[in-house]
Amino acid sequence: NAGVTQTPKFRVLKTGQSMTLLCAQDMNHEYMYWYRQDPGMGLRLIHYSVGEGTTAKGEVPDGYNVSRLKKQNFLLGLESAAPSQTSVYFCASRDTSHSEQYFGPGTRLTVT
Amino acid sequence: SQQGEEDPQALSIQEGENATMNCSYKTSINNLQWYRQNSGRGLVHLILIRSNEREKHSGRLRVTLDTSKKSSSLLITASRAADTASYFCATDTASKLTFGTGTRLQVTL
């Protein structure tokens, strides 16, 4: 099992560019989450999904969109990147019976 | 806003010593979890304590929970250099986790 994987690992964008981060899990988990981690602030929830075809806003959703077309994939999109979106992005998943989340290795995004 | 605040922000100890880190939170919870993050890596789940539990053990880890004070502590006994990492508490409410700001633990030989 690969667990939770994220693509890409690193990316540099110019202000105004768009991109999509891909999260994939092979554990048949129902729930998936996108977080951002900034220095000294812990992880903050951007969007999450409780099943295929569903999405919901987290604590800091502005500037991001998500889609969960397939159960194993959760995509995070930035339509018009801003320097404030420079961060490390983590994806996580969990099943319906257990609360603990499994995290991917992260994507380091820099917006110049 | 962050649900949890962790204390201390940084902790440096020698191998073999015990490390204690504390977490305070603001609202009612289903459970509280602790995660470890090695530098440049994703978070790894360590232990979960339910809201009706007061103490839980797992190997060298001991977690306590005081719901009346809305606080938790994580004790790592007989620390090792490999325990060097950041540790985060996370409170579970409505299938979502809210993370604290973390404690950076440095264990030196």
For residues A23 and A91, is the Cβ–Cβ distance under 8 A?
A: yes
Cα pseudo-dihedral B80, B81, B84, B87, rounded to 10: -10
**Is the pLDDT at B67 greater than 90, yes or no?**
yes
Residue B1: predicted pLDDT: 47
B63-85 average pLDDT score: 97
pLDDT digits (tens, 9 = 90+) for A15-56: 999 999 999 999 999 999 999 999 877 899 999 999 999 999
**Is the pLDDT at A109 greater than 80, yes or no?**
yes
Residue B58: predicted pLDDT: 97
Q: Say yes or no for a CB contact (<8 Å) between B42 and A104.
A: yes
Tell me the pLDDT band of B95, cut-offs 50, 70 and 90: confident
Average pLDDT of chain B is 94
**Is the pLDDT at A63 greater than 70, yes or no?**
yes
Please indicate whether residue A2 or residue B92 has the higher confidence score (pLDDT).
Answer: B92
A68-85 average pLDDT score: 97
Interface of A with B (CB under 8 A): 4, 31, 33, 35, 40-45, 48, 50, 58-59, 90, 92, 99-106
Tell me the pLDDT band of B106, cut-offs 50, 70 and 90: very high
C-alpha–C-alpha distance, residues B19 and B5, integer Å = 17
Of B31, B33, B101, the CB nearest to A42: B101
Q: What secondary structure does DSSP assign to A84-95, as a single string?
A: GG-EEEEEEEE-
Of A42, A45, A59, the CB nearest to B88: A42
B61-65 average pLDDT score: 98
